[in-house]
């Protein structure tokens, strides 16, 4: 019988990869504080962070639950917690339900609009895990899921939508969609054999990489617009430049005939990019 250990569940949801979207949730929060002139609220900030963690835990655990039969026969993924028997499928699904309920419950203590929209967010972030079975646009569904972080944080403070956080969300959609295409290159042969859909499956590796580059150019263009609209200082644009340079760097690491550095491009480079952008954003905020 699989035994509960915190480390096993942190590994199940790849908790360290929270670094991708969490910085942009923080950007969304501080953007709202700046635009409304409200005081920083530690309690509300903590609730925003908790929502981010609970939502991502639910999404990642459900992804592992939904893909467990594929993971079991994929040479790259058969060592994951569920196919390896470290965590049972039933326990993983229970973990999903608990985190989804905690996410919804936390939004209740934020404001009405966040609470009313919380089931929609859950449907989006959990639904992504099933989309690879029906559409090659699954990469962008993942992007939509992660893109909710700055918009949700902004709503937590203000209770209304605005173009600035929406632009951050749009940039994340393209950023995530682009790097998920790169990540999917590892499984194109397996996905094709299982009749799963992805951009690399339908376009091939070279065209998929070219599309990923184009999408990342769009992400970089969109990300600079909030800085212009907010009349940000040079710190914002330095952060943007580093972010854009790291996108270029990750594409230099991956070739259609050499995927040995996909993990470096996907995990390390994107994690550094998001944290660096947040750092310079905060320099701008406090300057």
> Mean pLDDT throughout 184-210?
95
**pLDDT > 80? residue 220:** yes
Predicted confidence (pLDDT) per residue in 230-269, tens digit: 999 999 999 999 999 999 999 999 998 988 888 877 778 8
Going by pLDDT thresholds of 50, 70 and 90, the confidence category of residue 36 is very high
60-103 confidence digits (pLDDT tens):
999 999 999 999 999 998 998 899 999 999 999 999 999 999 99
pLDDT bracket for residue 6 (50, 70, 90): confident
CB 172 within 8 A of CB 146: yes
pLDDT at 15: 67
DSSP H helical ranges for the chain: 6-12, 22-36, 42-66, 68-73, 89-108, 112-131, 138-158, 163-184, 188-193, 199-203, 205-229, 234-253, 262-263, 270-286
The whole-number average pLDDT for the span 46-66 is 94
pLDDT for 1 beyond 50: no
CATH topology of domain 6-286: Tetracycline Repressor; domain 2 (1.10.357)
Placement of tokens 């196919």 in the chain: 83
Q: Return the closest-CA partner of residue 190 out of 87, 86, 72, 80.
A: 72
Q: Which structure tokens are listed for 278?
A: 């947040």
Domain assignments of the chain as residue spans, ordered by start: 6-286
Q: Classify residue 13 as exposed, middle or buried by CB count within 10 Å of its CB (0-12, 13-18, 19+).
A: buried
């Amino acid at each position: 019988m699989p035994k509960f250990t915190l480390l096993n569940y942190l590994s199940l949801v790849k908790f360290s990869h929270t670094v991708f979207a969490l910085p942009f949730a923080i950007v969304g929060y501080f953007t709202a504080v700046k635009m409304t002139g409200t005081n920083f609220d530690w309690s509300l900030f903590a609730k925003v962070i908790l929502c981010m963690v609970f939502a991502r835990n639910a999404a990642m655990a459900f992804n592992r639950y939904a893909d467990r039969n594929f993971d079991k026969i994929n040479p790259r993924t058969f060592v994951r917690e569920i196919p390896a028997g470290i965590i049972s499928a039933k326990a993983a699904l229970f973990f999903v339900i608990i985190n989804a309920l905690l996410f919804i419950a936390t939004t209740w203590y934020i404001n009405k609009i966040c609470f009313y929209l919380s089931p929609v967010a859950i449907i989006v972030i959990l639904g992504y895990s099933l989309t690879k079975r029906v559409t090659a646009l699954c990469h962008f569904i993942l992007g939509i899921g992660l893109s909710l972080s700055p918009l949700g944080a902004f709503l937590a403070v203000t209770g209304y939508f605005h173009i600035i956080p929406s632009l951050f969300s749009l940039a994340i959609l393209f950023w995530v969609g682009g790097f998920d295409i790169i990540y999917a290159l590892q499984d194109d042969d397996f996905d094709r054999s299982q009749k799963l859909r992805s951009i690399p499956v339908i376009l091939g590796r070279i065209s998929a990489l070219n599309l990923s580059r184009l999408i990342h150019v769009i992400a970089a263009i969109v990300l600079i617009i909030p800085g212009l609209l907010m009349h940000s200082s040079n710190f914002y644009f330095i952060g943007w430049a580093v972010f854009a340079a790291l996108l270029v760097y990750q594409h230099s690491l991956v070739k259609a005939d050499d995927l040995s550095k996909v993990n470096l491009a996907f995990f390390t480079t994107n994690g550094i990019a998001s944290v660096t952008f947040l750092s310079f954003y905060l320099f701008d905020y406090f300057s």
